[in-house]
Chains A and B, each alone.
Chain A
Amino acid sequence: MKQPISTDRREFLKSTGVLTGVLAAGSPWALLAPSRAWAVDLAALTSAEGATLMAVAKTIAPHDKLEDAAYAVVIKSVDTAAGKDPALHKQLKDGVSGLGTGFATATEAVRVAALRKVESGDFFQTMRVQTLQTLYATPQAYKLFGYEGEAFSKGGYLVRGFNDLRWLPEVPLADSGPFPGAS
């Protein structure tokens, strides 16, 4: 998977907007990033639009254990799609302006109330799908939510804990089957 978080300052100059932040020490993001300061450059959206959309994503899928950088990955993906699709770009711009300038800094309760009002519209539905599709698909999210991803390259879960649950009784052989090679 490509690392969408850039720490290359020259990239900023080409973009119209940027999202920035600092990673918490010891977070999965910090372990993988070259520096704790992060920046995501935006090609289609402005910084203010990016900040509002990031607040939308955080309201749709709020997780205390996720850092802003996780949501910035969602906005990067939305920004890339908007760069290729003028209709989507307009939908996002209109959606952001509909939410108003205070949205990004409002409390969660206020943001939820604002989104409920636009929930039936295309803008919200686009953001919901984009957020849910992208947010959990990064190596950092895998780590935080306890998903280990593919195991084929490591010999499968057969030797990596597929049956290591011990808080319930074992299943009798007649209703399951032998460990491969054991019979």
Chain B
Amino acid sequence: MARIEHTDDGAVVIIGSGAGGGTLAHELTRSGIKVVLLEAGKRLSMQTFSQDPNEAFAEITWLDPRTQSGTWGTKKDFPTLPVWIAKMVGGTTVHWTGATPRIRPWEVATRSTYGDVPGTSMVDWPIQYDELLKYIEQAEKRMFVTRRNGNPGLPASNNFKVMYAAAKKVGYKQVHTNHMAINTRAQDDRGLCIQQGFCAQGCKTGAKWSTLYTEIPRAEVTGNLDLRSECQATHIEHGADGKVTGVVYRDSEGKEQRQKARIVCVAGNSIETPRLLLLSDTAKFPHGLANSNGQVGRNYCHHISGFVWGIFDKPVHMYRGTTLAGIVEDETINDPKRGFFGGYHMELIALDLPSLPLAGLSYGWGRDFASIIDNYQNMAGMFICGEDLAQADNRITLDPKVKDKYGVPVAHVHVDEHANDKAMKLHAQQQMTKMWEAVGAKRVVRSGSPPATHNMATCRMSANPRDGVCNAHGQSHDIANLFISDGSQFSSPGSANPTLTIVALALRQGEFIRQQMAARSI
């Protein structure tokens, strides 16, 4: 591992070590570029992941305060936790469930496909689908995605058997154990999936791809990576010419440090990335960096989500097995006849017993609520993952009152539900209810919206600099050496779990930065 001087202004500084930042760090360091990787969380390992659900939640989750407002359901059910993302080396790739379906062609051209939907602020991606697909295919190879490139699918768990039979009963055709970045055989120096069911607590065999034990250690081997864990960026600095010059951060002892940089790439997930840009306001950039048009933090997308549980007479034991290994893709279409634009995936899901009452069920208490939990072992689970439409005022801002332990304003998340979102969610819930009932469910339980695990589009790419924060390479419109390197750069969210697309964009951006540095354009 490299030690890069704080005064070295030749390095690329990447903030955040998840799917975007971790992958980009590897791409740059393997080409000989020096990288300082700042990560707010600790470095844990497969060996240390807790197998106690409550303990694992406390260990992995970003629990620093965030505030929220708006009509979206999380405000009532989860007042202090609008989003559920990780804070540790590897970021949310430690917590993610490994699902890697592809974003669809029309989903990168929503404005042209859906038209001018009232109340929305959609833009098309400035990247053609075929161009994006090239990098998605590279990402699938790199992550050993199942059901691609000769990697077999995961075997069917009990939970999936119920989902499969249910889907077939109602006539769905595209039903399988999902595309997963989870090893079905030992490869890539990682173990194979032993169906533990603790995917979201950190995979203890490494079967599930995570930058924590793939991209990051491989970047360290190059000798060009200086990974600094427990180092939280608080400010990006710029020079008189408007170019960024370095990053101010708090180190593991809470001391303020300054790292010089040739290029800064922000990959803090779609909440912390805009927060950091907004925190970096100066006399020259009074609204924060890359924000001359006021777009930073806007158009926040979080996917239409929610659980639909089926309760049966016989045992399912949904917790046994890979959490998300199941999908129905028949509703992943744009068919406005259904009453909404865009499509959704139905994905298999299980929750452990301690997490179910608070994370998996709508607010409730008393006999009726408790009777759901009484049926825990006879429950099967599905989850909606659908495309939400951009709205300009669904946005991340700095909370005017609440500050973190360093006295820095926290992120405020505002989300109002669009009529399209509600219509899609209702459709999905009705279809899932039909499915569970078709295989004999005695009760179907619908949840509200859980804290968002998919956070996107708050610093989006746009062809016209007026409409977004960065260009088709994630390079900010305002500042040539400032990049957005995570899901914040999505122009629209699509309906696929976002990690695969984030990795694809990191590969593409890595290529661009290498070329630009070699050509001395940055």
Is the pair A146, B51 in contact by a Cβ cutoff of 8 Å?
no
B235 within 8 A of A: no
Is the pair A142, B353 in contact by a Cβ cutoff of 8 Å?
yes
Is the pair B158, A163 in contact by a Cβ cutoff of 8 Å?
yes
Q: Spot the interface stretch: B130-138, B366-374, B422-430, B503-511.
A: B366-374
Once A156-B195, A165-B315, A168-B161 are accepted as A-B contacts, the answer to whether A177 and B369 lie under 8 Å apart by CB is no
Is the pair B155, A177 in contact by a Cβ cutoff of 8 Å?
yes
A30 within 8 A of B: no
Contact with B along A120-152 (1 / 0, CB 8 A): 000000001100110111000110011111111
A107 within 8 A of B: no
With CB as the reference atom, state the residue of chain A lying closest to B197.
A157
Chain B residues positioned under 8 Å from A151 (CB to CB): 194-197, 320
Contact with A along B141-165 (1 / 0, CB 8 A): 0000011000011111110111011
Chain B residues positioned under 8 Å from A160 (CB to CB): 320
Within 8 A of B (CB), among A52-94: 59-63, 65
Task: Output the least CB separation between B357 and chain A (Å).
Answer: 4
A108 to B365 alpha-carbon distance, docked (Å): 13
Contact of B321 among A129, A142, A162, A169 (CB under 8 A): A162
Chain B residues positioned under 8 Å from A108 (CB to CB): 367
Contact with A along B191-202 (1 / 0, CB 8 A): 011111110000
Is the pair A65, B177 in contact by a Cβ cutoff of 8 Å?
no
B376 within 8 A of A: yes
A149 to B197 alpha-carbon distance, docked (Å): 9
B271 within 8 A of A: no
Chain B residues positioned under 8 Å from A162 (CB to CB): 155, 157-158, 195, 197, 320-321
B319 within 8 A of A: yes
Contact of A145 among B194, B205, B353, B369 (CB under 8 A): B353
Task: Output the least CB separation between A61 and chain B (Å).
Answer: 5
Chain B residues positioned under 8 Å from A136 (CB to CB): 353-354, 356-357, 373
Once A136-B353, A157-B194, A176-B160 are accepted as A-B contacts, the answer to whether A145 and B377 lie under 8 Å apart by CB is yes
A10 to B374 alpha-carbon distance, docked (Å): 37
Task: Output the least CB separation between A95 and chain B (Å).
Answer: 15
Task: Please give the residue numbers on chain A whose beta carbons come within 8 Å of chain B beta carbons, in ascending order.
Answer: 1, 59-63, 65, 108, 112, 115, 128-129, 132-133, 135-137, 141-142, 145-153, 155-165, 167-171, 174-180, 183
Chain B residues positioned under 8 Å from A112 (CB to CB): 366
Is the pair A62, B51 in contact by a Cβ cutoff of 8 Å?
no
With CB as the reference atom, state the residue of chain A lying closest to B369.
A61
A163 to B158 alpha-carbon distance, docked (Å): 5
Contact of B376 among A146, A149, A155, A167 (CB under 8 A): A146
Task: Output the least CB separation between A127 and chain B (Å).
Answer: 9
With CB as the reference atom, state the residue of chain B lying closest to A146.
B377
B175 within 8 A of A: yes
16 CB-based A-B contacts, threshold 8 Å = A61-B365, A63-B374, A128-B365, A133-B354, A136-B354, A137-B52, A137-B53, A146-B376, A148-B319, A151-B197, A151-B320, A157-B197, A162-B197, A167-B314, A177-B177, A178-B155
Chain A residues positioned under 8 Å from B395 (CB to CB): none
Residues of B in contact (CB 8 Å), total: 55
B127 within 8 A of A: no
With CB as the reference atom, state the residue of chain A lying closest to B183.
A180
A169 to B352 alpha-carbon distance, docked (Å): 25
Is the pair B185, A152 in contact by a Cβ cutoff of 8 Å?
no
A150 to B175 alpha-carbon distance, docked (Å): 28
Once A112-B366, A142-B353, A162-B158 are accepted as A-B contacts, the answer to whether A150 and B51 lie under 8 Å apart by CB is yes
Once A177-B146, A177-B154 are accepted as A-B contacts, the answer to whether A147 and B365 lie under 8 Å apart by CB is no
Chain A residues positioned under 8 Å from B192 (CB to CB): 180
Main secondary structure of the interface of A (DSSP, over half): loop
Contact of B358 among A1, A59, A133 (CB under 8 A): A133
Once A157-B321, A163-B321, A175-B177 are accepted as A-B contacts, the answer to whether A150 and B161 lie under 8 Å apart by CB is no
Is the pair A65, B374 in contact by a Cβ cutoff of 8 Å?
yes
Contact with A along B354-392 (1 / 0, CB 8 A): 101110000001110110011011000000000000000
B123 within 8 A of A: no
Task: Output the least CB separation between B470 and chain A (Å).
Answer: 38
Once A157-B196, A175-B164 are accepted as A-B contacts, the answer to whether A163 and B377 lie under 8 Å apart by CB is no
B316 within 8 A of A: yes
Within 8 A of A (CB), among B6-44: none
With CB as the reference atom, state the residue of chain A lying closest to B165.
A168
Once A132-B357, A175-B175 are accepted as A-B contacts, the answer to whether A156 and B194 lie under 8 Å apart by CB is yes
Chain B residues positioned under 8 Å from A176 (CB to CB): 153-156, 160, 176-177
Is the pair A145, B374 in contact by a Cβ cutoff of 8 Å?
yes
A120 to B353 alpha-carbon distance, docked (Å): 26
Contact with A along B302-330 (1 / 0, CB 8 A): 00000000000011110111000000000
With CB as the reference atom, state the residue of chain A lying closest to B180.
A177
Is the pair A163, B198 in contact by a Cβ cutoff of 8 Å?
no
B275 within 8 A of A: no
Chain B residues positioned under 8 Å from A147 (CB to CB): 319, 352-353, 376-377
Contact of B320 among A148, A153, A175, A178 (CB under 8 A): A148
Is the pair B152, A177 in contact by a Cβ cutoff of 8 Å?
yes
A137 to B154 alpha-carbon distance, docked (Å): 29
Once A136-B353, A157-B321 are accepted as A-B contacts, the answer to whether A146 and B315 lie under 8 Å apart by CB is yes
B439 within 8 A of A: yes
Further contacts, 5 of them, CB under 8 A, given A61-B365, A183-B152: A128-B365, A137-B354, A146-B315, A159-B194, A175-B156
Chain B residues positioned under 8 Å from A177 (CB to CB): 146-147, 152-156, 177, 184
A86 to B336 alpha-carbon distance, docked (Å): 55
A162 to B196 alpha-carbon distance, docked (Å): 9
A145 to B164 alpha-carbon distance, docked (Å): 25
